[in-house]
Structure 1
Amino acid sequence: MTDLLAALLLGILEGLTEFLPISSTGHLLIAQHWLGQRSDFFNIVIQAGAILATMLVFRRRIWELATGWRDAATRDYALKLAVAFLVTALVGLPVRLAGWELPETVTPVAWALILGGVWMLAAEHFAEKRGDVADITWKVAVLVGLAQVVAGVFPGTSRSAAAIFMAMLAGTSRRSSAAEFVFLVGIPTMFAASGYAFLELVKDDALGSENWGEVALAFVAATATGFVVVKWLLGFIKAHRFTGFALYRIVLGALLLLLMPAGS
């Protein structure tokens, strides 16, 4: 397989898995086992492509939030997004500086996939008992921020899964409402995390020699695939449960433990 095709496949995989509740880290770990390891810069760029995809999907909603401050409901929602992001930043930065993060190797990622799948099944079960609740409360905003920190510490957890199901447990039982809030707050969160990681690479003079054609192709692939996936998921969850994603995570985690070397 050529390096260009491998870059394309990795970009598509990032776009497919970044926003589905199945962990992009776990899937990239598997893919790079066969397609070859890529630089941290490459991974940052393809994640930026996935973020751009979300911005394109929610471009009208973002514009409404940016320009609709005179409307009380719009202002309230925007402030809750800001609170969720600030909680992630204020808690997550000290955690990052302290080095509290599990390695992106098979065993912790596999267990995060399995436990995350069980968490999803339990969260959806309890959320459905409350009926159809669409409101995003201040409690939900704070807990979504904390859930994003947990996902950052435990690779394989999936930021979207941790935050969506925290929102559902905390009071927003409607899947589409929880997902929209999590995707929107993920835009500044992921941009900040990617920007911080990029600055660390610059500081350590670790950008390396990149093949810019491969990087550009992977970025475009991640953006295009992410756009399709987010659009599809928002429609899917209006009428379907997350059960299939949860079971997939559990099976994938078990296969990782059984079939891949623990130190990979």
Structure 2
Amino acid sequence: MNDLLSALLLGILEGLTEFLPISSTGHLLIAQHWLGARSDLFNIAIQAGAILAVTTVYRRRIWGLSTGLFSDPVARDYAFKIAGAFLVTAFVGLPVRLLGWELPETVTPIAWALVIGGVAMLVAERFADRSTPSEDITWKIAIAVGLAQVVAGVFPGTSRSAAAIFAALAFGLNRKPAAAEFVFLVGIPTMFAATGYAVLEAVLDGNAAGEDWAGLLLAFVAAAITGVITVRWLLKWISTHSFAPFAWYRIGLGAALLFGLPAGA
């Protein structure tokens, strides 16, 4: 398949799956078995393209938090907790990455992560639905979200958004739209920092020269545009629906991959 067409399809797939709790990384790695493998820089950078969609959708919220830092205690507290969750991810995740603690990006561990994550989503949502409604972002929730992002990085197929949203739900933030908003906003510095680190790593390792920059840019733009549509749709969906269809989709896809795999895949 033409490299640019392949990059375009991967960008669209990233924009569709980054915010849905079904694992964008897992879907990208599975798709690349047919569309051709891409570099870590490509996979991380197009995730940042999808995160750019969140910046667009939440631009008024971000502006309100920025302008309220010195005048609004509520905005300041919320912004500090976003920063806290990001710092937890950075200070725990960077050593984990440097030490190479990550499952191999092959289909079997991704399939298991999809299944286990789907079951965990069903359990966490049932627990949250039985709890007293709350939209308070506590420091416990902020730390849990930060650690959940690290777990998602170590286990491809987990889904950063799913792990973080359901960590927030499990620790008391049981209003799904509020949990999604906090997780999406935490994802902005997280993914932009990850992209910057990946670019620096590629340059220092001498791999940047061999990168398909045209394909990466095309996929980045496609992920950003598709991401805007997906985020807006998801926020409307979770205001009146549960995450159960996504959980069952994960379980079904993971099971199909496991039963359809040759030995050792």
TM bin, normalised by shorter chain, reads over 0.9
TM-score (norm 2): 0.95
Distance change in 2, residues 1:190/1:87 (3 Å): same
User: 2:89: which partner in 1?
Assistant: 88
CA distance in 2, matches of 1:262, 1:187: 39
| Structure 1, unpaired ranges of 5+ | none
* Alpha-carbon contact 1:20-1:161 (below 8 Å) kept: yes
* Alpha-carbon contact 2:41-2:195 (below 8 Å) kept: no
CA distance in 2, matches of 1:263, 1:162: 27
* Alpha-carbon contact 2:3-2:215 (below 8 Å) kept: yes
Distance change in 2, residues 1:255/1:213 (3 Å): same
User: 2:39: which partner in 1?
Assistant: 39
CA distance in 1, matches of 2:153, 2:264: 20
TM-score (norm 1): 0.96
CA distance in 2, matches of 1:183, 1:123: 19
SS of the residue aligned with 1:151?
helix
Structure 1 vs Structure 2 CA RMSD: 1.4
User: 1:12: which partner in 2?
Assistant: 12
Offset of 1:56 from its aligned partner?
0.6
Offset of 1:187 from its aligned partner?
0.6
User: 1:49: which partner in 2?
Assistant: 49
Distance change in 2, residues 1:41/1:88 (3 Å): closer
Offset of 1:207 from its aligned partner?
1.9
Offset of 1:18 from its aligned partner?
0.8
SS of the residue aligned with 1:19?
coil
| Residues 169-178 or 83-92, more deviating | 83-92
> In the alignment, is residue 246 of structure 1 matched against residue 247 of structure 2?
yes
| Residues 165-174 or 93-102, more deviating | 93-102
SS of the residue aligned with 1:103?
coil
User: 2:145: which partner in 1?
Assistant: 144
Aligned positions of 1:122-161 closer than 5 A? 122-161=123-162
User: 2:79: which partner in 1?
Assistant: 78
| Residues 113-122 or 39-48, more deviating | 39-48
* Alpha-carbon contact 1:106-1:261 (below 8 Å) kept: no
Offset of 1:135 from its aligned partner?
1.2
Distance change in 2, residues 1:46/1:89 (3 Å): same
User: 1:258: which partner in 2?
Assistant: 259
SS of the residue aligned with 2:206?
coil
* Alpha-carbon contact 1:84-1:141 (below 8 Å) kept: yes
Q: Percent identity, aligned pairs only?
A: 70
* Alpha-carbon contact 1:107-1:262 (below 8 Å) kept: no
Kindly tell me the number of residue pairs found equivalent between the two proteins: 264
Offset of 1:197 from its aligned partner?
1.8
Offset of 1:215 from its aligned partner?
2.5
One-letter code of the match for 1:6? S
Offset of 1:263 from its aligned partner?
5.8
User: 2:25: which partner in 1?
Assistant: 25
Residues 23-80 of structure 1 show CA distances to partners (whole Å, capped at 9, x for unaligned) of: 0111112211111112233223312211111111111111111111211111111111
Residues 79-134 of structure 1 show CA distances to partners (whole Å, capped at 9, x for unaligned) of: 11111111111111111122111111111111111100000000000001113211
Offset of 1:262 from its aligned partner?
6.2
CA distance in 1, matches of 2:160, 2:94: 16
* Alpha-carbon contact 2:44-2:194 (below 8 Å) kept: no
One-letter code of the match for 1:74? A
Distance change in 2, residues 1:262/1:10 (3 Å): farther
CA distance in 2, matches of 1:90, 1:216: 29
User: 1:197: which partner in 2?
Assistant: 198
